[in-house]
Structure 1
Amino acid sequence: MGVTAALIDLGPVRTSPVFRRWWLGRTLSGFGAQMTMVAVMFQVWEQTHSAVWTGAVGLAQALPVVVFGLFAGALADRADRRRLYLATTLGSAATSAALAAQGLLGGAPVIGLLALVAVQSLLGAVAGPVGRTYLPHLLPPSQRAAGLALNHISFQTSMLVGPALGGLLLGWIGVSGCYLVDTVTFLAALYGVIGLPRLPAAGGGLVPGFRAVGEGLTFMSRNSAVRAALLTDLAATFLAMPISLFPLVNAAWFHGDPRTLGLFLTSIAVGGVLASVLSGTFTRLGRPGPVMFAASTVWGVALALFGLATHPWLGFGALVLAGAADTIAVVSRATVVQLHTPDALMGRVAAAEQIVGSAGPDLGNLRAGLVAGAFSGPVALVSGGVLCVAAVVSLAAASRRR
C-alpha cells in the first residue's frame, strides 16, 4: 500500500458540500465540548476531592442516554430530522450558557452541576441518533467508511486541542471561561445543521414508543454483525474507561495542577489523530470486523500499561497507544453498523450505538471511580484493561464460530 493510500480519504469533503459544512460545524463545536469536559471534572474535583464524585459525572451523563436513548432513536426514525436536530442543538447551547452562568456566580452545588450535565446529556441523546442517520444520505456506500473516519478525526482533533486549551483557560479565567467558549462554538454547529437537507420519516407510520423500540431491539439481537459491534464497544468502554481517574493521577504526578489535567485527554487524542491521518490503512481493507476486535484488544492492553506506568511520560505513551486503538475500533465498529442496518431502523440502531458509545464510557468512568475509591487508581486501571481484553477475545472467538 502506497503512502497516499495510507492517508485519510478526503473524498467526502471534496465531493459533498453539505457534508463539508456539517463536518466543519461538528469539528469546531467539538473544541468547546472538550473544554467543558475538563472544566466539569475540575470543578467537581475542587469541590469534593473525591474520585467517586468525579465518577458520578459519568453517571449523570449516562442515565439520560440509557433511559431515553432508544425512544430518541425511534423519534429520529419518525420525526422531521432536521427540525429535531436544530432544536436539540439550540437546547445544548442554552445548557452551556447555564453552566457558564453558574460558574460566573460562584459555582453551583455538585448536585446542581450534575443536573446541568444530565440535561445536556439528554439533549445529546436525541441529537446523536439524528446526526448519525444523516451520513448514509450525504455519502454513497463507498465513501461511508471515509466519512466516519473524518468524523472521528474531527473528534480526536478537538480532544487534542480542547483539553489542553481548557486547562490553560482554567488557570487563566476559570471554569466559566470554558463553559462560555462552549456556548459560542454551538454557532458553528448550527451552521452545519442548517445546511442539512430535510429528510422524510423513514419509519413509516410507526409511532415512536415501546413497539418501535422493540422492533429495533429485535433487529439488533438477530443481526450478528451489529450485535457483535455493540457488545465489543460495551466491553471496551464499560470495563476499561480511565477518564474519571485522570484528576487522581494528575494529583499524584503533578500535584493537581489544572494546567496539566488536559494533557491526559490530549495524549489519547494524539494517538487518535495519528490513527485517523493514516486511516486509509484500515478503511480501504474492507474487513472492519476483524480490525474492530484487534483494535479493541490493544485498547485494553494500553490502559493496563497506563495503570502500571511509573513515570508520567510512560503513562502518556500508553495513552497515545490507547487513543490510536480507540480510533481504529470506533471507525470499524461504526462501519459495521452502517453497512448492516436498513434506513428504516437507522435511528434506533444509531441510538443503541450511542447508548453503548456514550453511556458505556460514562458508566465505565463510574466503575473506575468506585474501584479506585475501594482500592487504588492502578488497581482500577489494570483490572479494567485485563477484563476488557478477556471480553473482546471471547467475542472474537464467538464471531469466528458463526
Structure 2
Amino acid sequence: MAVIGWRRWALDVTPLRTSRDFRLTYLAAGVSFLGSMVTYIAIPYQVATLTDSPLLVGLLGIVEFAPLLVTALLGGALADYLDRRKLVLGAEVGFTLLTAILVANALLPSPQLWLLYAIAAISATLDGLQRPALDSMMPRLVTPDELPAASALNSMRSTVGSLIGPLLGGALIAWVGLPAAYGLDLLTFAVSLGCLIAVRAVPPPPDADRPSVRGVITGLRYAGSRKELLGTYLVDINAMFFGMPLALYPFVADRLGGPTVLGMLYTAESVGGLVASVSSGWTGRVHRHGMMIIVAAAAWGLAIAGFGLAPTLWLALLCLAVAGAADQISGMFRGIVWNQTIPDHLRGRLAGVEMLSYTSGPSLGNLRGGVVARFTGVTGSIVSGGVLCVLTTIALAVALPAFRRYDGRDGLAHKQQVDAERAATAAAAAAD
C-alpha cells in the first residue's frame, strides 16, 4: 500500500518511455537550458560589475522584452506554417554563435557594455522565433492522455536547469571568471544540436494558415475569446511583474556574501520547484486548473514578500524555495490548460502569445524592481512587489469567474471537437 501511495505522488515519466522524439527534444532543451541559465546570471552580473547600477541591470529586461513583442507572434505564425523542428534547430545555431561572442567579449581587457545589451536583444529575438515552435511541438510528440505528465516533465527540466545552472555559473564566476561561465554554455550546444538533428520532422497541419497579420490577429482573438486562456496569461504577467526581483539579486548577494551567494539565490527557487516537480503525480488528478493557478500565484507573492523581509541568508533561501514551488505548480497547470485546450492549427500562434505572457512579466518586473529600488531601496522594492502581487491576483480571480471555475475535462473535450471539425472540413475540401 505504501508503494502505491508513493506512486500516486511520484513524477510520471511515461512520455520519456513511449516517445523517441520527445526524449530527444527533452534532452536537447534540457542541456541547452542548463547552459543558458549560466549565461542568464553571468550577463546581469557582468553589467552590475561594469556599472554598479540596479537600474542598468533592470534595463536588460526591457532590452530583452522589446524584440519579443514582434518575434514571439511572428515565431508563432511561422510555427503553424513551417516544420517546427527546423525552426528550433535554426535558432539553436544562432544561440551558439552569440554565446561564442560573449566568450570573446569577456576575454577582452575592457569588455564592451553595449555588446552585452546587443546580445541580450538578439538572443531575445531568436528566443521569440524558437520558443513557440518548441512549445507547439509537444502535443505532436505525446498522446493527449500524456499531456499532464509531459507538462510536469518539462517543468522539471526547467527546474533542474534553473537549479544547477546558477550554481555552476556562480561558482565559475567566483573561482575561474566570466569567460569560463560563458564557455560552459557554449559547450552545451554540441549536445542540443546533435539531438535536434536526430528528431524527425514535425510538419504543420495539411491546411496550415500562411503567416500573415490576419493569421496573427486570429490567434490573438482566439486567446481573448477563451477566458480560461486569458486568465493564465494575466495571472502570470501580474505575478512576475510585481514579484520578480531577479535584477536585485546581485545587490542582495553583495549584502549576504558575494558571487557564491548570488548563485544560491538564483538556485533557491529551483530547489522548491524541483520538490514540486518530483511530487507532481497528483496534478493529473486535479481538474480545477484555474483555481490552482490562482492559489499558486498568490503563494508566490507571499513568499517573495517574505524574501524581502528575511534578515538572514537561510531564511531568504527558504522563502525563495517556497516561491519556486508555487511558481512551478502554476507553470505546470498553465501548461496543461494550454496543451489541452488549443487546437493544433493555432498551437504555434498561441504559443507565441504564451511566450509573451511568461516573458513580459519577468522582463518588465525586473525593470520595475530596479526603478522602485531607486526610491525605496532594494528591500522596499521586493516587499512592495510581493504584497501587490497577492492583491492583484485576488482581483483577477474575482474579475475572471470563467477562469476561476475552469475544469480541464471540458477544455480537452472542446479541443478534440475543434480538431475533429477542422480535419473534417479539410478532408471535404480535398475531396472536392
TM-score normalised to the size of structure 1? 0.96
**What's the CA shift string for 1:53-106, capped at 9, x where partnerless?**
111121222111123211111111112222222111100111111111111123
Give 1:133's match in structure 2, choosing from 116, 132, 136. Answer: 136
The residue identity in structure 2 corresponding to 1:89 is E
How many residues are paired up?
400
Tell me the residue number matched to 2:163.
160
Task: Note if 1:378 corresponds to 2:365.
Answer: no
Tell me the residue number matched to 1:81.
84
Tell me the residue number matched to 1:186.
189
Tell me, in whole angstroms, the C-alpha distance in 2 between the residues paired with 1:146 and 1:34. 24
CA contact (8 A) 1:341 1:349 kept: yes
Tell me the residue number matched to 2:277.
276
CA contact (8 A) 1:26 1:188 kept: no
Tell me, in whole angstroms, the C-alpha distance in 2 between the residues paired with 1:10 and 1:167. 31
- Range that drifts further, 58-67 or 317-326: 58-67
- Range that drifts further, 194-203 or 309-318: 194-203
Tell me the residue number matched to 1:366.
367
Task: Note if 1:333 corresponds to 2:341.
Answer: no
CA contact (8 A) 1:225 1:337 kept: no
| Structure 1 counterpart SS, 2:222 | helix
Tell me the residue number matched to 2:224.
221
Give the RMSD, CA atoms, in angstroms.
1.5
CA contact (8 A) 1:296 1:329 kept: yes
- Range that drifts further, 277-286 or 136-145: 277-286
CA contact (8 A) 2:105 2:112 kept: no
Task: Note if 1:69 corresponds to 2:72.
Answer: yes
CA contact (8 A) 1:167 1:258 kept: yes
What is the Cα deviation at residue 125 of structure 1? 0.8
Tell me, in whole angstroms, the C-alpha distance in 1 between the residues paired with 2:308 and 2:358. 23
Tell me the residue number matched to 1:240.
243
| Structure 1 counterpart SS, 2:207 | coil
Tell me, in whole angstroms, the C-alpha distance in 1 between the residues paired with 2:178 and 2:380. 30
Tell me the residue number matched to 2:146.
143
Aligned positions of 1:247-258 closer than 5 A: 247-254=250-257, 257-258=258-259
The residue identity in structure 1 corresponding to 2:343 is P
- Range that drifts further, 198-207 or 307-316: 198-207
| Structure 2 counterpart SS, 1:197 | coil
The residue identity in structure 1 corresponding to 2:341 is H
- Which is greater in Rg? 2
Tell me the residue number matched to 1:33.
36
Give 2:202's match in structure 1, choosing from 199, 204, 223. Answer: 199
CA contact (8 A) 1:282 1:291 kept: no
- Range that drifts further, 325-334 or 204-213: 204-213
Tell me, in whole angstroms, the C-alpha distance in 2 between the residues paired with 1:315 and 1:239. 18
Aligned positions of 1:276-355 closer than 5 A: 276-355=277-356
Tell me, in whole angstroms, the C-alpha distance in 2 between the residues paired with 1:271 and 1:283. 20
- Range that drifts further, 44-53 or 208-217: 208-217
What is the Cα deviation at residue 178 of structure 1? 1.0
Tell me, in whole angstroms, the C-alpha distance in 1 between the residues paired with 2:206 and 2:383. 44
**What's the CA shift string for 1:102-157, capped at 9, x where partnerless?**
11123532222111111111111111000011110111111111111111111111
What is the Cα deviation at residue 7 of structure 1? 1.0
User: 1:195 and 1:53, CA in 2 relative to 1: closer, same or farther beyond 3 A?
Assistant: same
Tell me the residue number matched to 2:22.
19
Tell me, in whole angstroms, the C-alpha distance in 1 between the residues paired with 2:187 and 2:226. 41
CA contact (8 A) 2:148 2:283 kept: no
The residue identity in structure 2 corresponding to 1:300 is G
| Structure 1 counterpart SS, 2:80 | helix
Unaligned runs of 5+ in 2: 406-432
Percent identity for Structure 1 against Structure 2: 36
Unaligned runs of 5+ in 1: none
Task: Note if 1:102 corresponds to 2:108.
Answer: no
User: 1:248 and 1:355, CA in 2 relative to 1: closer, same or farther beyond 3 A?
Assistant: same
CA contact (8 A) 2:208 2:345 kept: no
Tell me the residue number matched to 2:180.
177
